[in-house]
Amino acid sequence: MDKFVVRGGNPLLGTIKVSGAKNSALPCMAAAILTEGEVILENIPQVRDIETERKLLVSMGAEVELGYGRAQHRTSIKCAVLSDPVAKYEIVKTMRASSLVLGPLIARTGIARVAMPGGCAIGGRPIDLHIKGLEAMGATVTYDHGYLEARTPNNGSAPLKGAHIVFDKITVTGTEDLLMAATLAEGETLFENCAREPEVTDLAALLIAMGAKIEGAGTSTIRVQGVSSLHGARHKINPDRIEAGTFLVAGAITGGDLNVDCCDPSHLGALIAKLEQCGVKLTVGSDNVRVRSGGGILKASDISTEEYPGFPTDMQAQYMALATQTEGTTLVTENIFENRFMHVNELNRMGANITVNGRTATVRGKSDLQSAAVMCSDLRASASLVLAALVADGETILDRVYHLDRGYEHFEDKLRGVGAQIRRMGDVFGKNRRATDIAS
Ligand code: EPZ
Protein backbone atom coordinates (compact mmCIF):
# COMPACT_ATOMS: atom_id res chain seq x y z
CA MET A 1 0.00 0.00 0.00
CA ASP A 2 1.78 3.15 -1.21
CA LYS A 3 2.90 5.85 1.15
CA PHE A 4 4.22 9.37 0.71
CA VAL A 5 7.26 10.64 2.56
CA VAL A 6 7.24 14.46 2.83
CA ARG A 7 9.94 16.61 4.40
CA GLY A 8 8.58 20.07 5.27
CA GLY A 9 10.22 23.45 4.95
CA ASN A 10 10.63 24.19 1.25
CA PRO A 11 8.73 27.12 -0.30
CA LEU A 12 7.19 26.09 -3.63
CA LEU A 13 8.67 28.07 -6.50
CA GLY A 14 7.99 27.96 -10.23
CA THR A 15 5.11 26.84 -12.46
CA ILE A 16 2.78 23.90 -11.80
CA LYS A 17 0.32 22.71 -14.45
CA VAL A 18 -3.30 21.81 -13.74
CA SER A 19 -4.83 18.71 -15.39
CA GLY A 20 -8.35 18.15 -16.67
CA ALA A 21 -11.20 17.98 -14.15
CA LYS A 22 -11.99 14.48 -12.86
CA ASN A 23 -15.52 15.62 -11.97
CA SER A 24 -16.11 16.81 -15.53
CA ALA A 25 -14.50 13.82 -17.21
CA LEU A 26 -16.63 11.29 -15.30
CA PRO A 27 -20.07 12.58 -16.44
CA CYS A 28 -18.73 13.29 -19.94
CA MET A 29 -17.52 9.69 -20.27
CA ALA A 30 -20.94 8.51 -19.09
CA ALA A 31 -22.60 10.71 -21.73
CA ALA A 32 -21.06 8.49 -24.44
CA ILE A 33 -23.60 5.84 -23.41
CA LEU A 34 -26.31 8.02 -24.99
CA THR A 35 -25.11 7.50 -28.58
CA GLU A 36 -23.82 4.82 -30.94
CA GLY A 37 -21.39 7.40 -32.28
CA GLU A 38 -17.79 7.97 -31.18
CA VAL A 39 -17.23 10.47 -28.35
CA ILE A 40 -13.71 11.85 -28.11
CA LEU A 41 -12.72 13.66 -24.90
CA GLU A 42 -9.47 15.59 -24.55
CA ASN A 43 -7.63 16.84 -21.44
CA ILE A 44 -8.62 13.71 -19.50
CA PRO A 45 -6.72 13.42 -16.19
CA GLN A 46 -4.69 10.27 -15.56
CA VAL A 47 -6.33 9.33 -12.26
CA ARG A 48 -7.74 6.13 -10.82
CA ASP A 49 -11.43 7.11 -11.06
CA ILE A 50 -11.09 7.55 -14.84
CA GLU A 51 -9.61 4.05 -15.13
CA THR A 52 -12.51 2.72 -13.04
CA GLU A 53 -15.03 4.38 -15.36
CA ARG A 54 -13.20 2.95 -18.39
CA LYS A 55 -13.51 -0.55 -16.92
CA LEU A 56 -17.20 0.05 -16.20
CA LEU A 57 -17.97 1.16 -19.78
CA VAL A 58 -16.00 -1.76 -21.26
CA SER A 59 -17.87 -4.19 -18.99
CA MET A 60 -21.10 -2.96 -20.56
CA GLY A 61 -19.85 -3.54 -24.08
CA ALA A 62 -18.32 -0.17 -24.97
CA GLU A 63 -15.08 0.20 -26.95
CA VAL A 64 -12.85 2.56 -24.96
CA GLU A 65 -9.38 3.81 -25.91
CA LEU A 66 -7.61 5.76 -23.18
CA GLY A 67 -4.26 7.32 -24.05
CA TYR A 68 -1.95 9.50 -22.00
CA GLY A 69 0.71 10.09 -24.59
CA ARG A 70 2.57 13.36 -24.16
CA ALA A 71 0.17 15.40 -26.29
CA GLN A 72 -2.86 13.25 -25.69
CA HIS A 73 -4.62 12.70 -22.36
CA ARG A 74 -7.62 11.72 -24.43
CA THR A 75 -10.20 9.00 -24.62
CA SER A 76 -12.33 7.68 -27.44
CA ILE A 77 -15.54 5.90 -26.42
CA LYS A 78 -17.93 4.04 -28.71
CA CYS A 79 -21.08 2.51 -27.26
CA ALA A 80 -22.32 1.12 -30.58
CA VAL A 81 -23.62 -1.96 -28.77
CA LEU A 82 -24.26 -2.13 -25.03
CA SER A 83 -24.27 -5.91 -24.70
CA ASP A 84 -24.48 -5.91 -20.90
CA PRO A 85 -26.00 -2.65 -19.60
CA VAL A 86 -25.26 -3.41 -15.96
CA ALA A 87 -23.07 -1.34 -13.60
CA LYS A 88 -21.56 -4.18 -11.61
CA TYR A 89 -20.87 -3.86 -7.89
CA GLU A 90 -17.29 -5.08 -8.04
CA ILE A 91 -16.47 -2.20 -10.37
CA VAL A 92 -18.61 0.63 -8.95
CA LYS A 93 -17.84 -0.08 -5.29
CA THR A 94 -14.52 1.78 -5.50
CA MET A 95 -16.10 4.85 -7.03
CA ARG A 96 -19.74 5.85 -6.91
CA ALA A 97 -19.90 5.84 -10.70
CA SER A 98 -23.35 4.27 -10.77
CA SER A 99 -24.83 7.64 -9.90
CA LEU A 100 -23.65 8.90 -13.27
CA VAL A 101 -24.47 5.96 -15.55
CA LEU A 102 -28.02 5.37 -14.29
CA GLY A 103 -29.61 8.18 -16.31
CA PRO A 104 -27.75 7.62 -19.59
CA LEU A 105 -28.28 3.85 -19.42
CA ILE A 106 -32.04 3.99 -18.95
CA ALA A 107 -32.37 6.70 -21.61
CA ARG A 108 -30.39 4.67 -24.15
CA THR A 109 -31.58 1.10 -23.46
CA GLY A 110 -34.89 1.51 -21.62
CA ILE A 111 -33.56 -0.63 -18.78
CA ALA A 112 -30.74 0.19 -16.33
CA ARG A 113 -29.39 -2.19 -13.70
CA VAL A 114 -26.82 -0.55 -11.45
CA ALA A 115 -25.26 -1.57 -8.16
CA MET A 116 -26.49 0.77 -5.46
CA PRO A 117 -23.57 3.09 -4.69
CA GLY A 118 -22.41 2.70 -1.11
CA GLY A 119 -21.60 5.65 1.05
CA CYS A 120 -18.05 6.77 1.56
CA ALA A 121 -15.88 8.33 4.23
CA ILE A 122 -17.50 11.76 3.88
CA GLY A 123 -21.13 10.74 4.07
CA GLY A 124 -24.02 8.47 3.18
CA ARG A 125 -24.13 9.81 -0.40
CA PRO A 126 -27.76 8.82 -1.14
CA ILE A 127 -29.14 8.97 -4.70
CA ASP A 128 -32.82 9.36 -3.78
CA LEU A 129 -33.06 12.58 -5.82
CA HIS A 130 -31.75 10.79 -8.92
CA ILE A 131 -34.43 8.12 -8.49
CA LYS A 132 -37.20 10.63 -7.74
CA GLY A 133 -36.35 12.48 -10.96
CA LEU A 134 -36.38 9.32 -13.08
CA GLU A 135 -39.74 8.31 -11.61
CA ALA A 136 -41.09 11.76 -12.47
CA MET A 137 -39.98 11.00 -16.06
CA GLY A 138 -42.03 7.80 -16.04
CA ALA A 139 -39.45 5.25 -14.96
CA THR A 140 -40.29 2.42 -12.58
CA VAL A 141 -37.54 1.59 -10.10
CA THR A 142 -37.18 -1.69 -8.21
CA TYR A 143 -34.48 -3.02 -5.89
CA ASP A 144 -32.93 -6.44 -6.05
CA HIS A 145 -30.06 -7.72 -3.84
CA GLY A 146 -28.14 -4.44 -3.75
CA TYR A 147 -28.97 -3.54 -7.33
CA LEU A 148 -31.36 -0.89 -8.56
CA GLU A 149 -33.32 -1.66 -11.72
CA ALA A 150 -34.99 1.17 -13.60
CA ARG A 151 -37.28 0.73 -16.61
CA THR A 152 -38.84 3.29 -18.92
CA PRO A 153 -42.61 3.10 -19.59
CA ASN A 154 -44.05 -0.01 -21.30
CA ASN A 155 -41.54 -2.21 -19.55
CA GLY A 156 -38.56 -0.47 -21.09
CA SER A 157 -39.85 -0.22 -24.66
CA ALA A 158 -41.01 3.42 -24.63
CA PRO A 159 -38.84 6.51 -23.98
CA LEU A 160 -38.82 8.53 -20.76
CA LYS A 161 -41.28 11.41 -20.72
CA GLY A 162 -40.38 15.06 -20.21
CA ALA A 163 -41.32 16.35 -16.74
CA HIS A 164 -41.08 19.33 -14.40
CA ILE A 165 -38.47 18.45 -11.76
CA VAL A 166 -37.62 20.65 -8.80
CA PHE A 167 -34.64 19.26 -6.87
CA ASP A 168 -35.35 19.10 -3.11
CA LYS A 169 -31.60 19.65 -2.57
CA ILE A 170 -28.93 20.94 -4.92
CA THR A 171 -27.10 17.86 -6.22
CA VAL A 172 -24.24 17.97 -8.74
CA THR A 173 -24.35 14.42 -10.07
CA GLY A 174 -28.13 14.39 -9.63
CA THR A 175 -28.35 17.35 -12.01
CA GLU A 176 -25.88 15.70 -14.41
CA ASP A 177 -27.47 12.24 -14.31
CA LEU A 178 -31.01 13.50 -14.97
CA LEU A 179 -29.83 16.07 -17.54
CA MET A 180 -28.38 13.17 -19.55
CA ALA A 181 -31.60 11.17 -19.18
CA ALA A 182 -33.74 14.12 -20.32
CA THR A 183 -31.83 14.57 -23.60
CA LEU A 184 -33.57 11.47 -25.06
CA ALA A 185 -36.93 11.86 -23.28
CA GLU A 186 -40.14 12.52 -25.19
CA GLY A 187 -41.01 16.22 -24.84
CA GLU A 188 -39.66 18.98 -22.65
CA THR A 189 -38.09 18.63 -19.21
CA LEU A 190 -37.82 21.67 -16.92
CA PHE A 191 -35.34 21.33 -14.06
CA GLU A 192 -35.33 23.80 -11.16
CA ASN A 193 -32.95 24.21 -8.21
CA CYS A 194 -30.14 22.70 -10.32
CA ALA A 195 -26.46 22.61 -9.43
CA ARG A 196 -24.53 25.43 -11.10
CA GLU A 197 -21.05 23.88 -10.85
CA PRO A 198 -18.76 24.35 -13.89
CA GLU A 199 -18.79 20.56 -14.30
CA VAL A 200 -22.53 20.74 -15.12
CA THR A 201 -21.84 23.40 -17.74
CA ASP A 202 -18.98 21.33 -19.17
CA LEU A 203 -21.24 18.27 -19.52
CA ALA A 204 -24.00 20.35 -21.14
CA ALA A 205 -21.51 21.69 -23.70
CA LEU A 206 -20.65 18.11 -24.70
CA LEU A 207 -24.32 17.07 -24.83
CA ILE A 208 -25.17 20.06 -27.04
CA ALA A 209 -22.25 19.13 -29.32
CA MET A 210 -23.86 15.65 -29.51
CA GLY A 211 -27.13 17.21 -30.70
CA ALA A 212 -28.98 17.72 -27.41
CA LYS A 213 -31.24 20.73 -26.98
CA ILE A 214 -30.36 22.30 -23.60
CA GLU A 215 -30.81 25.84 -22.29
CA GLY A 216 -29.72 27.29 -18.93
CA ALA A 217 -26.85 24.98 -17.91
CA GLY A 218 -24.84 26.76 -15.21
CA THR A 219 -27.96 28.42 -13.82
CA SER A 220 -30.46 26.93 -11.38
CA THR A 221 -33.06 26.44 -14.14
CA ILE A 222 -32.34 24.12 -17.07
CA ARG A 223 -34.75 23.39 -19.92
CA VAL A 224 -34.26 20.33 -22.17
CA GLN A 225 -36.15 19.48 -25.38
CA GLY A 226 -35.83 15.72 -25.85
CA VAL A 227 -34.58 14.39 -29.22
CA SER A 228 -34.84 10.92 -30.72
CA SER A 229 -31.09 10.29 -30.89
CA LEU A 230 -27.69 11.86 -30.33
CA HIS A 231 -24.49 11.59 -32.39
CA GLY A 232 -20.81 11.45 -31.50
CA ALA A 233 -18.73 14.55 -30.78
CA ARG A 234 -15.31 15.77 -29.70
CA HIS A 235 -14.93 17.85 -26.50
CA LYS A 236 -12.12 19.25 -24.34
CA ILE A 237 -12.59 18.81 -20.59
CA ASN A 238 -12.36 21.88 -18.30
CA PRO A 239 -9.28 22.36 -16.11
CA ASP A 240 -9.69 20.92 -12.60
CA ARG A 241 -10.66 23.83 -10.34
CA ILE A 242 -10.11 21.81 -7.17
CA GLU A 243 -6.62 20.70 -8.18
CA ALA A 244 -5.88 24.35 -9.05
CA GLY A 245 -7.23 25.46 -5.66
CA THR A 246 -5.14 22.82 -3.89
CA PHE A 247 -2.00 24.17 -5.57
CA LEU A 248 -2.91 27.77 -4.66
CA VAL A 249 -3.09 26.72 -1.01
CA ALA A 250 0.22 24.85 -1.41
CA GLY A 251 1.91 28.03 -2.64
CA ALA A 252 0.39 30.07 0.19
CA ILE A 253 1.07 27.63 3.03
CA THR A 254 4.74 27.16 2.06
CA GLY A 255 5.36 30.91 1.65
CA GLY A 256 6.40 30.34 -1.92
CA ASP A 257 5.97 32.02 -5.28
CA LEU A 258 3.97 29.61 -7.41
CA ASN A 259 2.38 30.05 -10.83
CA VAL A 260 -0.64 27.74 -11.12
CA ASP A 261 -0.96 27.33 -14.88
CA CYS A 262 -3.58 25.90 -17.30
CA CYS A 263 -6.48 26.67 -14.96
CA ASP A 264 -9.68 28.73 -15.29
CA PRO A 265 -9.56 31.49 -12.64
CA SER A 266 -13.22 32.30 -13.28
CA HIS A 267 -14.06 28.99 -11.54
CA LEU A 268 -12.06 29.94 -8.44
CA GLY A 269 -13.78 33.16 -7.35
CA ALA A 270 -14.76 32.15 -3.82
CA LEU A 271 -11.36 30.64 -2.99
CA ILE A 272 -9.41 33.56 -4.46
CA ALA A 273 -11.48 36.06 -2.45
CA LYS A 274 -10.94 34.05 0.74
CA LEU A 275 -7.18 33.69 0.24
CA GLU A 276 -6.90 37.45 -0.34
CA GLN A 277 -8.80 38.03 2.93
CA CYS A 278 -6.09 35.94 4.62
CA GLY A 279 -3.42 38.25 3.19
CA VAL A 280 -2.23 35.94 0.41
CA LYS A 281 -0.96 37.84 -2.63
CA LEU A 282 -2.62 36.61 -5.86
CA THR A 283 -2.08 37.78 -9.43
CA VAL A 284 -4.90 36.50 -11.65
CA GLY A 285 -4.27 35.92 -15.39
CA SER A 286 -6.56 34.55 -18.11
CA ASP A 287 -5.51 30.92 -17.60
CA ASN A 288 -3.23 31.08 -14.56
CA VAL A 289 -2.97 32.44 -11.03
CA ARG A 290 0.32 33.40 -9.35
CA VAL A 291 0.33 32.97 -5.57
CA ARG A 292 2.80 34.51 -3.10
CA SER A 293 2.56 34.53 0.65
CA GLY A 294 3.27 38.25 0.70
CA GLY A 295 5.87 37.67 3.39
CA GLY A 296 3.66 38.80 6.26
CA ILE A 297 1.67 36.79 8.75
CA LEU A 298 -1.52 35.30 7.32
CA LYS A 299 -4.76 36.30 9.01
CA ALA A 300 -7.58 33.94 10.03
CA SER A 301 -10.78 34.13 7.94
CA ASP A 302 -13.86 31.94 8.42
CA ILE A 303 -15.35 29.73 5.68
CA SER A 304 -18.74 28.11 5.24
CA THR A 305 -19.04 25.60 2.38
CA GLU A 306 -21.85 26.19 -0.09
CA GLU A 307 -22.88 25.00 -3.53
CA TYR A 308 -21.16 26.79 -6.45
CA PRO A 309 -20.37 29.65 -6.70
CA GLY A 310 -19.97 29.57 -2.90
CA PHE A 311 -16.85 28.23 -1.16
CA PRO A 312 -16.45 24.64 -2.45
CA THR A 313 -16.75 21.73 -0.02
CA ASP A 314 -13.97 20.04 -2.00
CA MET A 315 -11.57 22.78 -0.84
CA GLN A 316 -12.60 22.71 2.85
CA ALA A 317 -9.95 20.26 4.03
CA GLN A 318 -7.16 21.96 2.12
CA TYR A 319 -8.18 25.40 3.47
CA MET A 320 -8.22 23.99 7.01
CA ALA A 321 -4.55 23.06 6.66
CA LEU A 322 -3.81 26.67 5.70
CA ALA A 323 -5.95 27.92 8.60
CA THR A 324 -3.57 26.19 11.05
CA GLN A 325 -0.86 28.58 9.77
CA THR A 326 -2.89 31.79 10.16
CA GLU A 327 -2.88 34.06 13.23
CA GLY A 328 -6.22 33.87 15.04
CA THR A 329 -9.25 31.61 15.12
CA THR A 330 -10.91 30.27 11.96
CA LEU A 331 -14.42 28.79 11.97
CA VAL A 332 -14.80 26.15 9.24
CA THR A 333 -18.44 25.18 8.65
CA GLU A 334 -19.19 22.19 6.41
CA ASN A 335 -22.74 22.45 5.08
CA ILE A 336 -22.68 19.91 2.26
CA PHE A 337 -21.53 16.58 3.73
CA GLU A 338 -22.20 15.21 7.19
CA ASN A 339 -18.79 13.68 7.85
CA ARG A 340 -16.15 15.71 6.11
CA PHE A 341 -13.81 16.40 9.06
CA MET A 342 -11.81 13.15 8.87
CA HIS A 343 -8.63 15.20 8.42
CA VAL A 344 -9.05 17.01 11.77
CA ASN A 345 -7.68 14.25 14.01
CA GLU A 346 -4.71 13.71 11.73
CA LEU A 347 -3.93 17.45 11.59
CA ASN A 348 -4.14 17.56 15.39
CA ARG A 349 -1.68 14.68 15.57
CA MET A 350 0.69 16.96 13.66
CA GLY A 351 0.29 19.67 16.30
CA ALA A 352 -2.73 21.61 15.02
CA ASN A 353 -5.29 22.94 17.50
CA ILE A 354 -8.73 22.10 16.06
CA THR A 355 -11.97 21.27 17.84
CA VAL A 356 -15.19 20.11 16.18
CA ASN A 357 -18.73 20.85 17.28
CA GLY A 358 -21.33 19.47 14.87
CA ARG A 359 -20.78 20.97 11.45
CA THR A 360 -18.25 23.56 12.61
CA ALA A 361 -14.53 23.10 13.26
CA THR A 362 -12.68 25.76 15.21
CA VAL A 363 -9.04 26.15 14.15
CA ARG A 364 -6.79 28.06 16.51
CA GLY A 365 -3.61 29.23 14.82
CA LYS A 366 -0.82 29.69 14.29
CA SER A 367 0.43 26.14 15.15
CA ASP A 368 3.95 24.85 14.57
CA LEU A 369 3.20 21.58 12.83
CA GLN A 370 5.39 18.56 13.48
CA SER A 371 5.99 15.57 11.27
CA ALA A 372 4.11 12.41 12.17
CA ALA A 373 2.85 9.17 10.69
CA VAL A 374 -0.65 9.98 9.42
CA MET A 375 -3.44 8.13 7.64
CA CYS A 376 -5.28 9.33 4.55
CA SER A 377 -9.04 8.71 4.68
CA ASP A 378 -10.56 10.31 1.57
CA LEU A 379 -9.49 12.25 -1.49
CA ARG A 380 -9.47 15.82 -0.22
CA ALA A 381 -8.49 14.98 3.38
CA SER A 382 -5.39 13.34 1.89
CA ALA A 383 -4.53 16.53 0.02
CA SER A 384 -4.94 18.47 3.27
CA LEU A 385 -2.42 16.23 5.03
CA VAL A 386 0.13 16.68 2.23
CA LEU A 387 -0.25 20.45 2.51
CA ALA A 388 0.32 20.27 6.27
CA ALA A 389 3.34 18.02 5.77
CA LEU A 390 4.86 20.58 3.40
CA VAL A 391 5.27 22.97 6.36
CA ALA A 392 5.73 20.46 9.20
CA ASP A 393 9.08 20.18 10.94
CA GLY A 394 10.71 16.93 9.81
CA GLU A 395 9.59 13.99 7.69
CA THR A 396 5.90 13.03 7.62
CA ILE A 397 4.78 9.59 6.42
CA LEU A 398 1.34 9.49 4.83
CA ASP A 399 -0.30 6.09 4.52
CA ARG A 400 -3.10 4.99 2.13
CA VAL A 401 -2.28 7.55 -0.54
CA TYR A 402 -4.38 5.51 -2.98
CA HIS A 403 -7.14 7.94 -1.94
CA LEU A 404 -5.15 10.74 -3.54
CA ASP A 405 -4.50 8.74 -6.69
CA ARG A 406 -8.24 8.71 -7.32
CA GLY A 407 -8.34 12.41 -8.14
CA TYR A 408 -4.88 13.98 -8.44
CA GLU A 409 -2.68 13.23 -11.46
CA HIS A 410 1.00 12.60 -10.58
CA PHE A 411 0.51 14.68 -7.42
CA GLU A 412 3.92 14.04 -5.92
CA ASP A 413 5.75 14.55 -9.24
CA LYS A 414 4.05 17.91 -9.83
CA LEU A 415 4.87 19.11 -6.30
CA ARG A 416 8.47 17.86 -6.51
CA GLY A 417 8.79 19.81 -9.76
CA VAL A 418 8.34 23.07 -7.82
CA GLY A 419 10.64 22.22 -4.94
CA ALA A 420 8.66 20.04 -2.54
CA GLN A 421 10.59 17.25 -0.82
CA ILE A 422 8.05 14.49 -1.46
CA ARG A 423 8.43 10.93 -2.71
CA ARG A 424 6.26 7.87 -3.01
CA MET A 425 7.26 4.68 -1.23
CA GLY A 426 5.99 1.25 -2.08
CA ASP A 427 5.13 -1.00 0.80
CA VAL A 428 7.65 -1.20 3.61
CA PHE A 429 9.41 -4.14 1.96
CA GLY A 430 9.91 -1.96 -1.09
CA LYS A 431 8.49 -4.60 -3.42
CA ASN A 432 7.10 -2.07 -5.79
CA ARG A 433 9.39 0.88 -5.18
CA ARG A 434 10.16 2.92 -8.28
CA ALA A 435 13.71 3.83 -9.15
CA THR A 436 12.93 7.52 -8.66
CA ASP A 437 11.84 6.86 -5.08
CA ILE A 438 15.22 5.49 -4.18
CA ALA A 439 17.12 8.09 -6.19
CA SER A 440 15.34 11.12 -4.70
C1 EPZ B 1 -20.21 15.79 -6.47
O2 EPZ B 1 -20.64 14.73 -5.66
C3 EPZ B 1 -18.71 15.65 -6.57
N4 EPZ B 1 -18.37 14.36 -7.20
C5 EPZ B 1 -18.09 15.73 -5.18
O6 EPZ B 1 -16.68 15.68 -5.33
C7 EPZ B 1 -18.47 17.07 -4.55
O8 EPZ B 1 -17.98 17.12 -3.23
C9 EPZ B 1 -20.00 17.21 -4.53
O10 EPZ B 1 -20.53 17.05 -5.86
C11 EPZ B 1 -20.45 18.56 -4.00
O12 EPZ B 1 -19.89 19.58 -4.77
C13 EPZ B 1 -18.46 14.25 -8.54
O14 EPZ B 1 -18.83 15.18 -9.23
C15 EPZ B 1 -18.09 12.92 -9.12
P16 EPZ B 1 -24.11 16.09 -4.38
P17 EPZ B 1 -22.23 14.41 -5.56
O18 EPZ B 1 -25.11 15.16 -5.00
O19 EPZ B 1 -22.90 14.80 -6.81
C20 EPZ B 1 -27.12 15.13 -0.86
C21 EPZ B 1 -14.48 15.04 -4.81
O22 EPZ B 1 -13.81 15.23 -3.79
N23 EPZ B 1 -27.84 14.29 -1.84
O24 EPZ B 1 -23.98 17.46 -4.94
O25 EPZ B 1 -22.36 13.01 -5.09
C26 EPZ B 1 -25.74 14.59 -0.53
O27 EPZ B 1 -25.82 13.61 0.49
C28 EPZ B 1 -15.93 14.63 -4.70
O29 EPZ B 1 -14.07 15.20 -5.98
C30 EPZ B 1 -29.03 13.69 -1.45
O31 EPZ B 1 -29.48 13.84 -0.31
O32 EPZ B 1 -22.69 15.39 -4.42
C33 EPZ B 1 -25.00 15.83 -0.09
O34 EPZ B 1 -25.30 16.09 1.27
C35 EPZ B 1 -16.33 14.36 -3.27
N36 EPZ B 1 -29.70 12.91 -2.35
C37 EPZ B 1 -25.60 16.93 -0.96
O38 EPZ B 1 -26.85 16.40 -1.44
C39 EPZ B 1 -29.24 12.73 -3.62
O40 EPZ B 1 -29.91 12.03 -4.41
C41 EPZ B 1 -24.74 17.32 -2.16
O42 EPZ B 1 -24.39 16.12 -2.82
C43 EPZ B 1 -28.03 13.35 -4.01
C44 EPZ B 1 -27.36 14.13 -3.09
Domain boundaries, the chain: 3-19+239-437, 22-234
As to burial, measured by CB atoms within 10 angstroms (0-12 exposed, 13-18 middle, 19+ buried), residue 349 is middle
Locate the ligand 1 atom nearest the alpha carbon of residue 380 and give its number: 22
What is the tens place of the pLDDT at every residue in 284-304? 999 999 999 767 789 999 999
pLDDT at 152: 97
Stretch among 112-121, 202-211, 354-363, 397-406 having the lowest mean pLDDT:
112-121
**436 pLDDT above the threshold of 80:** no
Distance CA 161, CA 37 (A): 23
What is the tens place of the pLDDT at every residue in 331-384? 999 999 999 999 999 999 999 999 999 999 999 999 999 999 999 999 999 999
Locate the ligand 1 atom nearest the alpha carbon of residue 129 and give its number: 40
What is the tens place of the pLDDT at every residue in 67-106? 876 657 999 999 999 999 999 999 988 787 778 999 999 9
pLDDT at 440: 34
Same fold, 3-19+239-437 and 22-234: yes
Residue 262 CB neighbour total at 10 angstroms: 17
Distance CA 139, CA 150 (A): 6
Distance CA 222, CA 189 (A): 8
Residue nearest to ligand 1 atom 15, measured at CA = 23
More confident residue, 343 or 428: 343
End-to-end CA distance of the chain: 20
Domain 3-19+239-437 coded CATH 3.40.50.300: no
Distance CA 438, CA 440 (A): 6
- Residue 421 CA to ligand 1 center (angstroms) comes to 33
**429 pLDDT above the threshold of 80:** no
pLDDT at 70: 63
CATH architecture of 22-234: Alpha-beta prism (3.65)
Distance CA 194, CA 375 (A): 35
Mean pLDDT of the chain: 94
Give residues (CB < 6 A) around ligand 1.
23, 26, 123, 125-130, 169, 171-174, 195, 199, 313-314, 336-337, 379-380, 407
pLDDT at 71: 58
What is the tens place of the pLDDT at every residue in 155-204? 999 999 999 999 999 999 999 999 999 999 999 999 999 999 999 999 99
**434 pLDDT above the threshold of 70:** no
pLDDT at 355: 98
Write b or e for each residue in 44-66: b if 16 or more Cβ atoms lie within 10 A of its Cβ, otherwise e.
Answer: bbebbbbebbbbbbebbebebeb
As to burial, measured by CB atoms within 10 angstroms (0-12 exposed, 13-18 middle, 19+ buried), residue 407 is buried
What is the tens place of the pLDDT at every residue in 16-41? 999 999 999 999 999 999 999 999 99
Residue nearest to ligand 1 atom 42, measured at CA = 171
pLDDT at 435: 37
Q: Which of 48, 128, 166, 171 to mutate to test the pocket of ligand 1 (most atoms within 8 A of CB)?
A: 171
**Using only C-alpha atoms, what is the Rg of the chain?**
22
More confident residue, 53 or 71: 53
